[in-house]
C-alpha cells in the first residue's frame, strides 16, 4: 500500500506600498531573488495602482541584482484575503486599511519612507534598508 505524502500548501506573501512604484517592487524582487522554495508565491501591489516604475528605480535595482518590472499593480481585496502574509513596507499606508479581522493577524508594518523617483542616492539607501529588513525576517518568511 502506498503512503500518501503530505504536500505543503502554497504560501502567498504580498508586499504593499502606496502605488507599487518603489518599495513594494524592491521587496518583491529581492525576496524572489533569494527564495529557493517553489511553494512560496511572492507578489506586490499598491493601495492604488501607480504610474509605471521610474527608470531610476529599475537602474538602482539592477545595481543590487534585482529584476524590477516597470508595470504597477493595484491590489484586489481577494488577493489580500488569500495571502498568508501581508507586509506593508510603506510608512504612508494607513493601518486602518488592514484593521479588518481578515488581515490583522497576518499583516506586518515596516514603515519605510518614500523618496523622489529621481533621487538615485536615496533610492539606493532605501533599497539597502529593505534588503536588510528582509534578511532579518527571511527565515520566518521563507519557511
More confident position, 96 or 143:
96
Indicate the pTM of the whole model. 0.89
88 neighbors 108 (Cβ within 8 angstroms): yes
Domains of the chain: 11-141 (3.40.50.2300)
Distance CA 71, CA 53 (A): 6
Distance CA 39, CA 64 (A): 25
Residue 143: its pLDDT value, please? 65
Where residue 13 falls among pLDDT bands split at 50, 70, 90? Answer: very high
Residue 46: its pLDDT value, please? 96
Residue 9: its pLDDT value, please? 61
Give yes or no for residue 8 having a pLDDT over 70.
no
Closest CA to 64 of 141, 128, 2: 128
Residue 28: its pLDDT value, please? 97
Helices (H), 9-119: 23-34, 55-63, 77-82, 101-104
Distance CA 44, CA 51 (A): 15
Q: Calculate the CA 21 to chain-centre distance.
A: 11
pLDDT > 90: percent of the chain: 73
**Across residues 53-77, what is the average pLDDT?**
95
Amino acid at each position: 500500500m502506498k503512503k500518501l505524502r503530505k504536500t505543503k500548501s502554497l504560501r502567498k506573501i504580498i508586499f504593499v506600498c502606496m502605488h507599487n512604484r518603489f518599495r513594494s517592487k524592491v521587496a518583491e524582487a529581492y525576496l524572489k531573488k533569494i527564495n529557493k522554495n517553489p511553494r512560496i508565491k511572492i507578489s506586490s501591489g499598491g493601495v492604488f495602482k501607480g504610474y509605471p516604475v521610474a527608470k531610476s528605480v529599475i537602474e538602482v535595482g539592477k545595481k543590487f541584482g534585482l529584476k524590477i518590472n516597470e508595470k504597477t499593480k493595484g491590489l484586489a481585496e481577494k488577493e489580500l484575503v488569500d495571502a498568508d502574509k501581508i507586509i506593508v513596507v510603506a510608512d504612508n499606508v494607513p493601518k486602518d486599511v488592514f484593521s479588518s479581522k481578515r488581515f490583522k493577524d497576518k499583516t506586518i508594518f515596516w514603515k519605510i519612507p518614500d523618496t523622489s523617483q529621481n533621487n538615485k542616492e536615496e533610492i539606493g539607501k532605501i533599497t539597502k534598508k529593505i534588503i536588510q529588513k528582509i534578511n532579518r525576517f527571511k527565515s520566518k518568511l521563507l519557511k
